[in-house]
Amino acid sequence: MSEAPPAGVLTVDLDAIVRNFRLLAERVLPVDCAAVVKADAYGLGLAEVAPALARAECRSFFVAQLAEGVALRKILRRAKSNATIYVLGGLMENERALFEANALVPCLNDLGQLEHWATFCRARGQPLPCALQIDTGMNRLGFPAADLDRLAAEPKRLVGVDLCLILSHLACSDEADHPMNRRQLGRFRAALDRLPHCRASLAASSGMFLGREFLFNTVRAGVALYGGNPTPNAPNPMEQVVQLQGKILQVRDVDRGETVGYGATHRFTRPCRIATVGVGYADGFLRSLSNRGSAAIGGVTAPIVGRVSMDLLTLDVSAAPPELVRPGAMVELIGPNRGIDDVAAEAGTIPYEILTALGPRYERRYTGGAASSE
Amino acid sequence: MSEAPPAGVLTVDLDAIVRNFRLLAERVLPVDCAAVVKADAYGLGLAEVAPALARAECRSFFVAQLAEGVALRKILRRAKSNATIYVLGGLMENERALFEANALVPCLNDLGQLEHWATFCRARGQPLPCALQIDTGMNRLGFPAADLDRLAAEPKRLVGVDLCLILSHLACSDEADHPMNRRQLGRFRAALDRLPHCRASLAASSGMFLGREFLFNTVRAGVALYGGNPTPNAPNPMEQVVQLQGKILQVRDVDRGETVGYGATHRFTRPCRIATVGVGYADGFLRSLSNRGSAAIGGVTAPIVGRVSMDLLTLDVSAAPPELVRPGAMVELIGPNRGIDDVAAEAGTIPYEILTALGPRYERRYTGGAASSE
């Protein structure tokens, strides 16, 4: 924002993202591993993350929205990559020219969208690439059963388009034993049987760990690239990518019986030392962490006391090494002692939301990325 | 992000912000009304909001961080305003020159910060403006009791600085009957009695409604400017400022017994029509709205069914006017039928967080602002 010293510093380790990508890509070989970089690469910066992945020979990217695809195409061009970009959100009729101009592959979600694309291809006299997304139970995006029936009965609807991928998305893949996984696998196989032969994709980060029958031809690595645990009930096989530090603005001693923060929701039962840190919910450090989250100072846990406010949070630093508790010192909000899965659990959400909520006021520092050029 | 049609449109009514400012400013007359524009004007855009307020003769602004102050000074210069800018977060020794260069007033939070500023002023040979923030029970930022005692005993510590405001902040002002309000008022008065005569400020948006004895010389209007209810247990006297619309990407019919979204958390008990909208928690539409929030379509409530995902949410649109439920149509996520207080209550948070979480993927449209030039 300016040369002003920041109140929070977000460090993104691009090499760790690349190592996570390679770990997953090797795990699924010979299946292709694509990278999901929607929502500004899960909040970590599309302009930095995508070139690092492209240099690591990632050949396929997934985004959610057309505008994200347009931005990513520019970024990849600058990085001298001509990787494929899929747009998961589907296609509106008025978006077709922009898809073509930016060489984006729409994931068509119903017969109407397919018809829009086929008409466009015929008018252009060119079979432009597209994917078909099949709904297998998520009920969010993708061909409904009735549309699939009609398409299976009338395969000529695909004439003129270049169908390059058929995909679907699992609703419960983070729970390996959930019956929904096998049910969706069965439905996806049945759909593939009724459609022209084509490359297929079902698994995202967690789906990759459900067994090889879930892998098909392409997997879509998302949260795992960014350090999220794709196997929430087992140790995290991924490397942490993000560190978030917040600056101590003030330190004070409080007496037994005093309260802290809005609503006076925390009352001290003994004399304590507290530190006020310049990070709040306007920085995406969710207000649900009030009285539940914590920071680490020299490896010691410092619990959040009172409510997280817009620009500030307060920590009980009584147990922290006193020499590290001074105005201007940085505390660890996310890092080696405070993984994004830990923070998410304390906030009552998932690590995805911790990442995408990371706010605009942090100074963002990127490490690595370039060294992974070949 | 590009010329791509947006999946979400955020409209900010600058005239409504100006009308809210004038309503509050007139209410507290002859007391001065300042505007709190920290966190990018509560997420609504500092570069647009601040000039509109400056044209409405707002003469004092409050931000949280030095970098925000630097940005605001540039914006105000362009808008030909030389309004006062206070930085609430305090002062670090290495920040002093930047405060001076940008004519920012630090809110000094303890004796150490006062000493930094006084030393700087003496070195510059100039009494530069500053404010003193007194902690009266929030225990977050501000002079602790011990520091206040020392300052009262040694008033020469203020020699060389230009003390222009003494402020404090209420912890429970949204609850008019909370005993903390009177307790903090008493402590603030006691502090003022022990310090050199100076302009004073205690009340923010809610504090303004606690009675005239809370107003002192300057009030700091924050969330109320942006449409938040400063009197949460009574009707909202403020005008709504924000509208958020999300685009329908797909519509589908589901049968009884089907589920929707991640974790299959919502099961339909009868056949329903659902619409998938291109807004998710990566847009700051909090994941805690899963199965709790809703949208409005033609004035009819459409509840969120299933979990809010990163880029998408799903609505039960069975009761909505069918002609308004089609791909490409926009639904109201925040607006006349869905105030920010409603959304906040459903999300289990406060309207402040709903505003500051508003994400970067929306197309942002501003209405008004210029016409209020005089």
For A266-293, the pLDDT digits (tens) are 999 999 999 999 999 999 999 999 999 9
- pLDDT at A371 (0 to 100): 47
Cis? peptide before A179, omega within 30° of 0: no
Cβ of A352 within 8 Å of Cβ of B310? The answer is yes
Distance CA B60, CA B63 (A): 10
Among the three residues A226, A250, A273, which one is the final residue of a domain in this structure? A226
| Contact across the interface for B249 and A287, Cβ inside 8 Å | no
* A80 within a domain of the structure (yes/no): yes
Residue B2: band (very low, low, confident or very high) from pLDDT cuts 50, 70, 90: low
- Does residue A355 lie in a domain region? no
Confirm whether B19 is domain-assigned: no
**Binning pLDDT at 50, 70 and 90, where does residue A3 land?**
confident
Cα–Cα distances (Å) from B53 to A57, A131, B20, B38, B366, in that order, read: 50, 49, 10, 14, 14
Cα end-to-end span (Å), chain A: 33
The beta-carbon neighbor of B311 closest among A39, A249, A350 is A39
End residue of a domain, out of A226, A260, A286:
A226
Mean pLDDT of the A211-217 span = 98
Distance to chain B for A281, nearest Cα, Å: 7
State the average pLDDT over residues B312-330. Answer: 97
Residues B81 and B211 in one domain: yes
pLDDT higher than threshold 70 for residue B64: yes
Task: Give the residue carrying structure tokens 């797909």.
Answer: B250
Q: What pLDDT was estimated at residue A373?
A: 39
Whether the pLDDT of residue B147 is over 70: the answer is: yes
Whole-number pLDDT of residue A1 = 43
Reported as a single tens digit per residue, the pLDDT across B335-350 is: 999 999 999 999 999 9
Q: Is the C-alpha dihedral spanning B43, A225, A169, A102 positive or negative?
A: positive
Which residue from A19, A73, A7, A10 is spatially nearest to A42, judged by alpha carbons?
A10
- Please list, in sequence order, all residues whose beta carbon lies within 8 angstroms of the beta carbon of residue B353, skipping any fewer than 6 positions away: A281, A286, A287, A310, B286, B344, B347
**Would the pLDDT of A173 be above 90?**
yes
* β-bridge mates for residue A35, sequence order: A61, A221
Decide which of B170, B198, B226 is a domain's last residue: B226
Average pLDDT over residues B198-210: 97
At A326, which CATH number? 2.40.37.10
Q: What is the pLDDT of residues B16-31, one digit of tens each?
A: 999 999 999 999 999 9
Compute CA A242 distance to the chain's CA centroid, rounded to the nearest angstrom. Answer: 12
Which of A295-309, B231-245, B360-374 shows the lowest per-residue confidence on average (mean pLDDT)? B360-374
Does residue B254 share a domain with residue B217? no
pLDDT digits (tens, 9 = 90+) for B21-62: 999 999 999 999 999 999 999 999 999 999 999 999 999 999
Indicate whether B271 and B318 sit together in one domain: yes
Other Cβ atoms less than 10 A from the Cβ of B105: the count is 20
Alpha-carbon Rg for chain B, nearest whole angstrom, is: 24
A176 with A275, same domain: the answer is no
Judge whether A176 is closer than 8 Å to chain B, CB to CB.
no
Whole-angstrom Cα distance, residue B61 to residue B50? 8
Domain of A163 in residue numbering reads as 14-226
- pLDDT tops 50 at residue B169: yes
List all residues 6 or more positions away from B239 whose beta carbon is below 8 Å from its beta carbon. Answer: B13, B16, B19, B20, B23, B227
Residue B373 has pLDDT above 80, yes or no: no
**Are residue B93 and residue B162 in the same domain, yes or no?**
yes
Structure tokens at B294: 């809703």
Calculate the CA dihedral of residues B315, B316, B318, B321 and round it to 10 degrees.
Answer: -30
Question: How many domains does the structure of chain A reveal?
Answer: 2
**Could you tell me the two tokens for B261?**
């979204």
CATH of the domain at A173: 3.20.20.10
Read off the tokens for B227.
């449409």
What does the block give as tokens for B237? 């006297």
Nearest CA in chain A to B277: A140
Residue A116 inside a domain? The answer is: yes
Q: Is A301 exposed, middle or buried (0-12, 13-18, 19+ CB in 10 A)?
A: middle
Judge whether A288 is closer than 8 Å to chain B, CB to CB: yes
Q: How far is CA B223 from the centre of its chain?
A: 4
Count the residues in chain B: 374
Q: Are A314 and B264 a contacting pair at CB < 8 A?
A: no
A346 at the B interface (CB within 8 A)? Answer: no
Residue B319, token pair as written in the block: 């009761």
Residue A311 CB partners (closer than 8 Å, separation 6+)? A7, A278, A279, A280, A282, A283, B38, B39, B64, B65, B88, B89
CA B304 to chain centre: 26
Which of A101, A173, A111 minimizes the C-alpha distance to A137? A173
Q: HSE-up of A173 (CA within 13 Å, CB side)?
A: 27
Contact across the interface for A357 and B357, Cβ inside 8 Å: yes
Tell me which chain A residues have a C-beta less than 8 angstroms from the C-beta of B39.
280, 282, 310-311, 361
- Using CB atoms and an 8 Å cut-off, which of residues 90-129 of chain A contact chain B? 90, 92, 94-95, 98, 109-110, 112
Contact A104, A85 (CB under 8 A): yes
Å from B126 to nearest chain A CA?
Answer: 23
Minimal CA–CA distance to A7: which of A262, A279, A215, A268? A279
pLDDT per residue as tens digits for the range A60-95: 999 999 999 999 999 999 999 999 999 999 999 999
Q: Determine the pLDDT at residue A2.
A: 54
Indicate whether B180 and B281 sit together in one domain: no
Q: Give the pLDDT band (50/70/90) at residue A372.
A: very low
Per-residue pLDDT reduced to its tens digit, B213-272: 999 999 999 999 999 999 988 999 999 999 999 999 999 999 999 999 999 999 999 999
pLDDT at B356 over 60: yes
- pLDDT at position A374: 36
Give the integer Cα–Cα distance in Å for A69 and A92. Answer: 14
Whether A353 maps to a domain, the answer reads no
- Are residues A39 and B282, on separate chains, in Cβ contact within 8 Å? yes
Comparing alpha-carbon positions, the chain A residue that sits nearest to B290 is A349
- The helix-helix angle for A46-55 and A14-28 (nearest 10°) equals 50
Give yes or no for B51 touching A (CB within 8 A): no
Specify whether B217 is located in the same domain as B348.
no
| CB-CB contact of B41 with B273 (8 Å) | no
Three-state secondary structure string covering chain B: CCCCCCCEEEEEEHHHHHHHHHHHHHHHCCCEEEEECHHHHHCCCHHHHHHHHHHCCCCEEEECCHHHHHHHHHHHHHCCCCCEEEECCCCCHHHHHHHHHCCEEEEECCHHHHHHHHHHHHHHCCCCEEEEEECCCCCCCCECHHHHHHHHHCHHHHCCCEEEEEECCCCCCCCCCCHHHHHHHHHHHHHHHHCCCCCEECCCCCHHHCCHHHCCCEEEECHHHHCCCCCCCCCCCCCCCEEEEEEEEEEEEECCCCEECHHHCEECCCCEEEEEECCCHHHCCCHHHCCCCEEEECCEEEEECCCCCCCCEEEECCCCCHHHCCCCCEEEEEECCECHHHHHHHHCCCHHHHHHCCCCCCEEEEECCCCCCC
B109 vs A39, A171, A250: nearest CB: A250
Mean pLDDT along residues A153-180: 96
Per-residue confidence (pLDDT) for residue B3, from 0 to 100: 83
Show the tokens assigned to A207.
Answer: 């789906």
User: Does the beta carbon of B357 lie under 8 angstroms from any beta carbon of chain A?
Assistant: yes
A79 is a domain residue: yes
Q: Would you state the pLDDT for residue A369?
A: 82
Residue B39 placed within a domain: yes
What is the ipTM metric for this complex? 0.96
Q: What is the CA radius of gyration of chain A?
A: 24
Q: Is the pTM of this model over 0.90?
A: yes
Based on the domain organization, do B110 and B197 belong to the same domain? yes
Q: Is the pLDDT of residue B155 over 90?
A: yes
Domain match, A161 and A257 both: no
Nearest chain A Cα distance for residue B337, angstroms:
25
Contact criterion met (CB < 8 Å) for A4 and B70: yes
CA distance B295 to A232: 32
Side-chain-side CA neighbours of B101 within 13 Å: the count stands at 13
Are A19 and A95 contained in the same domain? yes
Distances in Å between the alpha carbon of B307 and those of A42, A249, B162? 18, 37, 54
For residues A343 and A243, the answer to whether their CB atoms sit within 8 Å is no
State whether B222 and B74 are in the same domain: yes
Tell me if B5 and A314 make a contact (CB, 8 A cut-off).
no
Q: Which residues of chain A does B311 touch, with a Cβ-Cβ cutoff of 8 Å?
A: 38-39, 64-65, 88-89
Letter string b/e over residues B262-284, b meaning 16 or more CB atoms within 10 A of that residue's CB: bebebebeeebbbbbbbbbbbbb
**Is the distance from CB of A224 to CB of A238 less than 8 angstroms?**
yes
Using a CB-CB cut-off of 8 Å, the residues of chain A touching B259 are: 137, 139, 171, 180
CB contact under 8 A, A306 and B139: yes
Q: Does residue A345 belong to the interface with chain B, where contact is any CB pair within 8 Å?
A: no
Distance of CA A39 to the CA centre of its chain: 7
Q: Is there a domain that residue A45 lies in? A: yes
Are residues B226 and B242 in contact, defined by beta-carbon separation less than 8 angstroms? Answer: yes
Q: Which amino acid is at A362?
A: Y
Q: Do B5 and A95 touch (CB under 8 A)?
A: yes
Smallest Cα distance from B55 to chain A, Å = 24
Q: What is the mean pLDDT of residues A228-238?
A: 94
Q: Do A247 and A290 belong to one domain?
A: yes
Q: Do B139 and A68 make contact, defined as CB atoms within 8 angstroms?
A: no
